[in-house]
Amino acid sequence: MKIEALRSFVFMRNQSSLLRRHRAALLIAALICGIAGALVLPRGGGAHEPITTTVMFNKEVIRILERNCLDCHAPGKIKADIPLTTYEEARPWAKAIKEEVLEKRMMPFQAVKGFGSFQHDYTLPQRDVELLVSWIEGGAPRGDVKDYPKDAIEKLTAGKEWELGQPDLILQPKEETKIAAEGEDETRCFALPTGLKDDRWIGAVDFQPGNGAVVHGAWFAIERAPQSRVIKAAKRINNNCPPNAESLGRWVPGQSANRLPNGVASRLPAGSRVVLKIRYRKTGEEATDRSRVGIYFAKEPVNRAISHVAISAPAAVIPPNAENHRVKASHAIAEPAEVVAIRPLLFPFAKSIEVTAHRPDGAIEVLIWARDYRFDWQPAYFFKKPVALPKGSRIEVTAYLDNSENNRNNPNDPPAQMRFADALCEIALSSAPPTKAAPRTQARR
């Protein structure tokens, strides 16, 4: 935070004298060339190069950032250390922004377009990339203060509303959790009683971080089994997380909420608890958090329960400096299924992952291809249309790992041989039986 303030302060100081010189030079150039009309002078903002673009921060650029970046890059959000909400904040990052968007590293969700068709496309549209690059290469002008969408940005940084409307049930830990200023990321588990007297069907789950600057990700599950001594002991060593909870999904900053398809839901038995597991990041300042889980009951009659499988690669040894070490995993589909969502989960050495479905008739379909993976930003991808797989299909997972110094996530310098027991890379597949399978049960509200 402090460094950022300093950075923009230095920048503002530099720009005032530069701006004066720069304006004069620009005017002379414009007069000489006779193209004054084509050039736009920066107003109160500045750049070190002549302005050769009509793309303005306050007009086009802030809208692109608002749509794609500010869920993370804003005060109070997970990348509050790189805020991009105003010209003063964003200008020092202009060169880095160009690099990140041209290399397709931002946004950090990396399902490659054209491989799998998902409900939310997290790739930055090519037109937005072009506008950002034009703004940066053209001298990164500020534009008219009147154009800046102040209200929209204030609303966004104040906290998002529930994307799917008011939840039927909002669950929240009893008290604020204290997060220390320094140290490694930390995972905490909260078991939240629902107080429900009847079984319910869950059609969607959403999440609102209490303190977006420290909540790095969240995971939800249903704790079905009654408390036994064995479970209690396991919880003590597993950060108070019940070992047998059934997944309800995950959340990372910037991810959109999804509803399961009509007729598909997770059963929430009466008396069970919703487990909320949160990964906290340290910011250098002590913080507190009290996040909320929003539960939406299925509105349509439910006849298909969602189920989840984890497919993971077997044990492996990765030699040092291997740049393209391949690991594979495979899973046979025993019953016909409709795949609703997929979530690749990769560890620091992974560089890409491809998941394909092989049907018994020989047809092959790519379910997802994710590359340039930022291993700690892994949303679930919901298919636009569930992928129907007949019995006897096979899911093949191929991941490439980079244990060289080119991998910026490599914890070893110089690279060292790595041994992994299992779960080196894993995908979670959420699916439901096909439409005509199960008898109807009425959803109860």
Q: Measure the CA–CA gap between 232 and 242, rounded to whole angstroms.
A: 8
Best CA proximity match to 385, nearest among 114, 123, 115, 117: 117
Chain residues 348-407 in contact with ligand HEC, contact rule CB under 6 A: 374, 377
Which residue, 101 or 189, is less far from ligand HEC as judged by CB? Answer: 101
Which DSSP symbol is given to 257? P
Sign of CA dihedral 434, 436, 440, 445: positive
Stretch that binds ligand HEC, among 70-78, 165-173, 411-419, 422-430 (CB under 6 A): 70-78
Query: By the 8 A CB rule, do 297 and 216 touch?
Result: no
Half-sphere exposure of 217 (CA within 13 A, CB side): 15
The tokens describing 364, both together, are 């092959």
Q: Count the neighbouring beta carbons within 10 Å of the beta carbon of residue 167.
A: 19
Three-class secondary structure of residue 193 per DSSP: strand
Distance CA 142, CA 5 (A): 19
> d(Cα 74, Cα 84) in Å, to the nearest integer?
6
Nearer to ligand HEC, 333 or 370 (CB): 370
Q: Which is nearer to ligand HEC, 223 or 402 (CB)?
A: 402
Q: Which stretch binds ligand HEC (CB under 6 A): 106-114, 159-167, 170-178, 276-284?
A: 106-114
Span near ligand HEC by CB under 6 A; candidates 23-31, 96-104, 274-282, 386-394: 96-104
Closer residue to ligand HEC, CB minimum distance, 100 or 323: 100
Q: Which of 53, 68, 352, 431 binds ligand HEC (CB under 6 A)?
A: 68
Give the Cβ contact number of residue 192 at 10 Å.
20
Q: How far is the CB of 125 from ligand HEC (least distance, A)?
A: 10
Q: Does 106 bind ligand HEC (CB under 6 A)?
A: yes
Q: Any contact of residue 97 with ligand HEC (CB under 6 A)?
A: yes
- Of positions 55, 62, 72, 171, contacts ligand HEC by CB under 6 A: 72
Binding of ligand HEC by 82 (CB under 6 A):
yes
In the numeric block, which tokens belong to residue 160? Answer: 């998002």
Taking the complex as a whole, the smallest distance from the CB of residue 178 to ligand HEC amounts, in Å, to: 23
Contact residues toward ligand HEC (CB under 6 A) are: 68-69, 71-73, 79, 82, 93, 96-97, 100-101, 106-108, 124, 253-254, 374, 377
